[in-house]
A and B are shown apart, each in its own frame.
Chain A
Amino acid sequence: MQPLVFDPEICLACESVDCIMRCQYIDLDQARAKQEHDRIVRGEMSSILKDCVTCYACEEYCPSGNHPFYHIVEQQERLGVHPVPRPIEKSQVIMMAPRGRIGKKLVSPPVIDMCFFDIMKGGIRGRLFDGATTIGGSDVFCNLMFLHFARNSTIRERLPLVMDNIMRFHLEPSGVRELICYHDECYGTYTSWAPAFGIEVPFRPVHLFDYLYHRLLELKADIKPLNAKVAYQRPCSNRLCPETDHFVDDIFGLIGAQRPKRTYEYGNALCCGGVPEAAQRFDLVEEIRGKNVADMKEAGVQYCVFNCPFCFWTLAEPVAKAGIFPVMMSDLCLMALGE
């Protein structure tokens, strides 16, 4: 098993400690931030290991690409920090485990990897997904969510099997090499987490937004601009692939959605609150959901668009109560196509 590609010397030499100073949930002055940061780098216990909401954002904030968040998770696991109560953690480990119920299923491109969320495959429809086949469920589930549970070990253990399942049962027999990741978690796994742990990915992952953008270009003549203001709830796993974030603006440009300026977007995006809820940080959940939805209202948006099903389940109700229509990105695109 490969260790994390992490250079402690880079971190120890870092003076900006952006990973802590830009964190929206940990409030320390520069000196204290550096002190706690260096403790983590040296493998010592730090308050940050307990206070971290596991929003993944420091992976994006690090100017050196030194994987501060993956290192935090490594240290949490090594030092026995449990962000989420143990019964919930253990239950999730069992619930999300590969079941060995996979069988050979030929697929044809575009192949959409629904991650664990087979339940969402109703969204793969219309001209946007002409000819698409889907795969999904526990046997092809990336398991990246266990970053929230301080369990890099679970991802390490399962990912090779999961990738083997995808190849052996779906892609190889079908002669397909490209997998469109419905969820940022999968794309982040294959493009960020796996390389960080020296794990080779045997297929080419494509971000859903990349696919949507290029498909919309093909269907451009049929698009009826939405002429609506839309907020985007950026999921935590998009922090692992910030290079894909521009597709949101690109897609919005094609479908006539305006993205009004907000306080909590792009690098400042707020967590949906789902994971802090599992971590029993209920006051924080109320605070960030309140700030997030108020920010959307202030921006005068009509829609809040999601890509992460978990964010949708967590935030759709408070968003709807604020008079904003919650919608998945693929459905927003379908709306622009009149479907």
Chain B
Amino acid sequence: MERTEIIVQLKAIVGDAYVSDAPEDLFIYSRDQGVQEPHLPDGVVMPGSASEVVSIIRFAGRENIPVVPMGGGLVLSGLTVPLKGGLVLDMKRMNRILEVNESSHYAVVEAGTSQGMLDAYLRKHHPQLKHSLPDAPPAATIAGNIAIHGSGHLSQSEGGFHSEMVTGLEVVLPTGELVKLGSCSTVPAWFSRAPLPDLAGLFLGWNGTTGVITKVGIKLFPRPKYHDVLVYMTEDIDLAPMVLGRVIGTSMAEDINYALAPKPDYLRGFQMTVVNFTANTEEELAFKRKTLRSVMKDLYETRDSGFMPVPPNMKAGFLEAPQKALSKFADVRKGGGFEYVGAIMPIERIPDACRAGMEITARHGITYSLGARIIGRGNAAMFFFAYPFNRVDMDEVERVKKALEETNETALALGGIPWKTEVQGQQAILRQMEPGTYALMKRIRAVLDPAGIMNPGNWEVA
């Protein structure tokens, strides 16, 4: 079918205002802020409802048109770049918050609902509740984040990756059927994925290759009144597992982050473990502060490490979620380029990951921020190798690209798994994956998406 006819058909589904093949729109949707090669889509469509998504997917299936679902478009590693052309399915119009259940602590949102929207809504209407916020800009969507196994400021204390906080999903399959997964499939409430067979996993971590998420049930958590932060400073990377282990062991931290960077100069060579903790009373907060300090006593008494005094202006930044400092760092080289390898790895590999990141960046002459967020009471860490760059400096872009490829390989070699990684990283993972696992992935995709229209090029061996 000719592109003009495709556009006519799509306009008939969603209305004239929500379809475009204008060159300027295609240019924007052909790329993200990372270093991946742009690929032009044939069109962009913004559905306003699940039924419109059904119609679009059925149409695309009939015509064999690739479809790339997109949330905030902030993934950085090209996962919403249409590698094989076709349609970008921009979900941002579907941004309604459908339900907040105060008793059972969950919210149901449409797939285009952003992190900022849900956070603002909860602060206004349900101030006693919050959800786990990633350190992405607030425009990142809830659905996009769970689809890539994102994590956030409650991942340490409240159960792990955001995909583990999903209580239910509504999904349009690549063949056009609308399905519900979790309790909402059986009763009119979105409280849990158990005790049913857990089909949500067919759509979590698949980068939009198995269907289009249209609604998400997501866990909410109490928002305690009091909040404070402690920052533990070390000068020995090898102390990281011990320091983190002790903090985790108190069961008192809400969020635990570990970071090192060459800038500002007064922090070069030092590492900071940032421990956020909350409480319902001042007494509880004081008790937690005291306990968190006490588990470090023998360490700080050696004078080789210690808690950093945090002045009020600095503290305000540490208490933020999401952390604005990360967005600022993303533009430290100016020119708006930023990409990182996030690698999910065991905590004991953090020191080696730090050394590897510093070695790779030194060799490629680029700057870095390295660090880790603790996931699920220490089950894993989301280690980030973040490399900002100047987008107009093509030499720097190339060096960053090479560094990212090496970092993916290094993360795997260290026993980690690159997260939301670009195609080359996915292929590196698949090469290392048990053949039986990969074969199962292929079979599942073939069953769900016989026409192969969903985000083709992702999770495929070249």
Contact = CB atoms under 8 A, between A and B. Distances in A.
A87 B233 contact: yes
Nearest to A119: B313
B266 A95 contact: yes
A282 B290 contact: yes
A237 to B, nearest CB: 17
Interface stretch (B172-180, B301-309, B356-364): B301-309
Contacts of B300: 85, 280
A86 B266 contact: no
A85 B304 contact: yes
A313 B267 contact: no
A88 B306 contact: yes
Interface in A82-111: 82, 84-88, 90-92, 94-95
B235 A90 contact: yes
Interface string B195-217: 00000000000000000000000
A274 interface: yes
Nearest to B231: A88
A44 B311 CA distance: 36
Given A85-B303, A86-B304, A282-B290, A91 B309 contact: no
SS of A interface (majority): helix
Contacts of B311: 313
A277 B309 contact: yes
Interface string B306-331: 11110111000000000000000000
Contacts of B18: none
Contact of B293 (A119, A274, A278, A282): A282
B266 A94 contact: yes
A280 B270 contact: no
Q: From B265, B305, B308, name the one whose CB has the most chain A CB atoms within 10 angstroms.
A: B308
B234 interface: yes
A282 B309 CA distance: 11
Q: From B270, B303, B305, B308, name the one whose CB has the most chain A CB atoms within 10 angstroms.
A: B303
A91 B266 contact: yes
B312 A313 contact: yes
A59 B267 CA distance: 33
A95 B311 CA distance: 14
Contact of B308 (A88, A119, A313): A88
A91 B269 CA distance: 9
Nearest to A283: B290
Contacts of A84: 303, 306
Contact of B306 (A87, A95, A313): A87
Contacts of A87: 233-235, 270, 304-306
Contact of B305 (A85, A92, A274): A85
A146 to B, nearest CB: 14
Interface in B245-302: 264-270, 290, 293, 300-301
Nearest to A99: B265
Contacts of A282: 290, 293
Interface in A234-249: none
Interface string B29-55: 000000000000000000000000000
A88 B266 contact: no
Contact of A86 (B235, B268, B308): B235
Contacts of B304: 85-87
Interface string B410-441: 00000000000000000000000000000000
Interface in A266-280: 274, 277-278, 280
B271 to A, nearest CB: 8
B112 to A, nearest CB: 41
Contact of B233 (A88, A313, A317): A88
Contact of A280 (B266, B267, B306): B306
Contacts of A313: 311-312
Nearest to B302: A85
B198 to A, nearest CB: 45
A286 to B, nearest CB: 8
A53 to B, nearest CB: 14
B114 to A, nearest CB: 33
Given A274-B309, A278-B309, A282-B293, A91 B233 contact: yes
A88 B309 CA distance: 9
A201 to B, nearest CB: 28
A282 B312 CA distance: 18
Q: From A87, A92, A278, name the one whose CB has the most chain B CB atoms within 10 angstroms.
A: A87
A218 B400 CA distance: 64
Contacts of A91: 233, 266-267, 270, 308
A282 B291 CA distance: 11
Nearest to B300: A280
A106 B266 CA distance: 30
A85 B306 contact: yes
Contacts of B293: 280, 282
B243 to A, nearest CB: 12
Interface in B391-406: none
Nearest to B311: A313
Contacts of B307: 277, 280
Contacts of B313: 119
A85 B309 contact: no
29 contacts: A82-B303, A84-B303, A84-B306, A85-B300, A86-B303, A87-B234, A87-B235, A87-B270, A87-B304, A87-B305, A87-B306, A88-B306, A90-B235, A91-B266, A91-B267, A91-B308, A94-B265, A94-B268, A95-B264, A119-B313, A274-B309, A278-B306, A278-B309, A280-B300, A280-B301, A280-B307, A282-B290, A313-B312, A317-B312
Given A278-B309, A280-B306, A282-B290, 17 more contacts: A82-B303, A85-B233, A87-B233, A87-B235, A87-B304, A87-B305, A88-B309, A90-B270, A91-B266, A91-B267, A94-B268, A119-B313, A274-B309, A278-B306, A280-B293, A280-B300, A280-B301
The 9 residue pairs across chains A and B that have the minimum distance between CB atoms: A85-B306, A95-B266, A94-B266, A87-B235, A280-B300, A87-B233, A82-B303, A278-B309, A91-B266
